[in-house]
Amino acid sequence: MLKSLLIANRGEIACRIIETCKRLGVRTIAVYSDADVYARHVAMADEAVHIGAAPAAESYLQGDRIIEAARKTGAEGIHPGYGFLSENADFAEGVARAGLIWVGPKAETIRSMGLKDEAKRIAEDAGVPVLPGYRGEAQDAPTLETEAERIGYPILIKAVAGGGGRGIRLVSKKSDLAGELESAVREAKSSFGDGRVMLEKLVEQPRHIEVQVFGDSHGNGVHLYERDCSLQRRRQKVVEEAPAPGMPEDVRAAMTGAAVDLAKAVGYEGAGTVEFIVHGAKPLSTDTFFFLEMNTRLQVEHPVTELITGTDLVEWQLRVASGEKLPLEQGDIPLYGHAIEARICAEDPADNFRPGAGRLYAFSLGDVERLSEMRGNTSEDMFDEDSTIYRLDTGFGAGDTVPAVYDSMIAKAIVKSWDRESAIDALSESLGESIIAGIPSNIGFLKRCLDHGVFRDGEHHVNWIADEIDALTQPKSDVREAAGRLVAHALMTPADTGPFDQRDGWRMNASPRRSMRLKLDGEIGDFEPDAENLPAVWPVISITEQRFAVAVDGDTVLVDIPDYEAEAEALAGGDKVSAPMPGKVIDMRVKAGDEVTKDQVLAVMEAMKMEHSLKAPRDGVVKSVGAEIGEQVAEGIVLVELEEI
C-alpha cells in the first residue's frame, strides 16, 4: 500500500478520498486554487499546495503543476478523483513518467474507451450488444445522410470524443439533419477539439443502467452489481440508486457479465463503469440493453454501490494501484438492501436551474447530516443489513463560500435501507427537513422527484423530468404564504415586559387586527400570523436582523423586513453597482469621469459559467471603478460608483 497520496481534485470527492486515506494511514496532499484557500478539503489534508488562479484552466487542469506539487511534497501517487484530469490519458502518462503511481486505469485504456466509436468497436468484438449506428471515418454530409436513412429516424448525433451531454443532437426527420449536424460538430470542436461525430439509433423512453467493474494487474476482474441512473435532466444525472428497480436475475447476470467481458477485453485495472442504454418502454430482458460508453474513473454515484456491498471503492483503488489483488472474488461480493443518492446543487430549478454562488449562511441536511456524523463514513459503518444508513458526502459547511467558477454540485445525500421504498422514504424525509440559505438549491426539486408516483413505481426514464418539468420545479403555491405567516408570528410574539409591549393587534373602537408587512423572495405582502395553524416543524434561520430563511419541504423562502429607506434610494437610482455574486470581471466598459445613462452596461461578470451584465441604475458620472478586467471579486464588492452629473 502506498504511504502518501496527492489528490488532484477538490470539493466533496477530495474530502471523500481523504477520509479513506486517514483510515488507512495514508498521508494526503491537497491542491487548491485561489477560490479554495479556505476549502474543507484543504483543511482536512495533511499538506496542501497552491496551484493557481480560480478558473480550472489555470489551476485544476494544470497537469504539470500538479505533478510538480506531488514531487515537492514527496507523494508516491496521484488520485484524480472525477472530472478535471481524471480521464486525461496524457496526464496519466505524465504521472507515470514522473515515477509516480497513477490511481486509475492505464493510459491506453483511457484513450481507447474515451473515443465513443472505438469503445463501441471494442464492445462489439467482446460480444457486448451495441445499438445500430454509424461509426465510420467518412464525415461528409452525403455519407452521414445515407447512413441516417439506413439506421432509420429518429437518430442521435454524438460527438466521438464527447462527454457530459455535449455534442449530442436529436434528429427526428431527414429535413432536420443538416442543421443539427452543423450544430453538433461546432459544439464538439469547441468542447473537445474534435469535430468528428457518429450516428446512433434513438431509444425512446430510455433507461440508463450502469455496472461498476473493477480489475487488477493480475488479470482479475469483477463487478459490484448495477446502478440505475435514469433520473436525469439534460443528460445530467440527478438521482442514482442501486440495485436497479425491477431487475430480473437473468438480466442482471447478462448485463454484469457483458460489463466484465468488456473490462477484461481491455485489460482494465482499477475502478470503471460500463454504461448501458435500456428500452424503458419494454420489460427488462436480455435483449433490451445496449452498450453506451465506459467511464474510466470513479463515478459521482459510487456511494450507492459501496452501501449495498459493504465495500470502500477508494480503498480498492489504492490497493490495486499499489499492485495488490482485488480484495474480494466475485462470489464473495454481497448484495443487500437498496441505496439511493441525490445530487444537491447550487441552482434554482424555478429559474431554469440558474446556477448560484455565495456564502452558505445555513447548511443543514436533516437526518442525512445528523446520523451520518454519528456513524461516520468508513467502510466498517457502511454495511448494516437490518437498519437504515445515512451518509453525506460534501466539501462545504455553514459559513463556507461556494465559488462561482466550478460545477454547481455541493453535496450528495445518500441513504441505504432494507428495500427501495424505505430508502426513498428516508431520503425524502431528510430532504424535507433540510435548509440551505445564502444560495439557491435544488433540494425541493429533488424531494418532488422522489415523492412522485412515477418515480416511486420505478416507471421513470431519462426524458421523464423534461416531460414533468413544471410540476417538479415549482414549489406548492401555499408555501410562500405559510413562510410569511411563520416569520410574522415569530417577530410579533409578545415580549411580556409590560402592557405597552403587547402585540395583540388592539384598536380602539374596532376589532383587533394583527399583520406584518414582509418581503418574500422579493415580493411585498401583509401577513397575519395564525398561531394555531403554523407548521411548527419548519426551521427558520436568521441571516441578519432584517432577513430570514424558512425551509419548507426542501424549498427555502427568503423573508425580509422591508428596508424602505434603501428601497427609496433604489427607486431614485442609487450610486453603487456591486457584484451580485462571487465571480470574475471579464469586461469593464467605463472608467472614472465617464458620463453614463440609466441601464447602460457598465461591466460584465462571469459566474457559475454564465455571463452577467451589470447596468447603471441611473444617469450619472463614474466616480470610481473598483475592479479590473480579469479580477476575481467577492459578492457585494462595489465595481462602479456613480455621482451626479
DSSP summary character for residue 154: S
Q: How far apart are CA 294 and CA 297, in angstroms?
A: 9
Residue (of 318, 316, 313) closest to 102 by Cα position: 318
DSSP run (H or E) holding 602: strand 601-607
Q: How many CA atoms lie within 13 A of 469 on its CB side?
A: 13
Cβ-count burial of 270 within 10 angstroms (0-12 exposed, 13-18 middle, 19+ buried)?
Answer: buried
Q: Secondary structure of 306-359 in the HEC alphabet?
A: HHHHCCCHHHHHHHHHCCCCCCCCHHHCCCCCEEEEEEEECEEHHHCCEECCEE
Query: Using an 8 Å Cβ cutoff, are 234 and 352 in contact?
Result: no
DSSP letter string over 171-229? Answer: E-SGGGHHHHHHHHHHHHHHHHS---EEEEE--SSEEEEEEEEEE-TTS-EEEEEEEEE
Q: How far apart are the first and last CA of the chain?
A: 70
**Alpha-carbon torsion, ordered 225, 268, 5, 19, to 10 deg:** 0
Query: Using an 8 Å Cβ cutoff, are 49 and 69 in contact?
Result: yes
Q: How far apart are CA 231 and CA 451, in angstroms?
A: 13
DSSP summary character for residue 440: -
Q: What is the CA radius of gyration of the chain?
A: 27
Query: Using an 8 Å Cβ cutoff, are 304 and 227 in contact?
Result: yes
Q: What is the distance, to the nearest Å, from the Cα of residue 396 to the centroid of all Cα atoms in its chain?
A: 13
DSSP run (H or E) holding 467: helix 464-467
Q: How far apart are CA 54 and CA 49, in angstroms?
A: 14
Catalytic residue IDs: 297
Neighbouring residues of 394: CB distance < 8 A, sequence distance ≥ 6: 12, 15, 40, 344, 410, 411, 412
Q: What are phi and psi of 100, to 5 degrees?
A: -105, 155
Query: Using an 8 Å Cβ cutoff, are 1 and 320 in contact?
Result: no
Three-state DSSP class for residue 236: strand
Give me the long-range contacts of 37-43 (CB less than 8 A, separation at least 24): 38/400, 38/401, 39/10, 39/11, 39/395, 39/400, 40/15, 40/394, 40/395, 40/396, 40/397, 40/400, 41/7, 41/10, 41/11, 41/14, 41/15, 41/395
Residue 373: how many other CB atoms lie within 10 Å: 11
Q: How far apart are CA 198 and CA 134, in angstroms?
A: 6
Q: For the chain, what's the residue count?
A: 645
243 cis-preceded (ω within 30 degrees of 0): yes
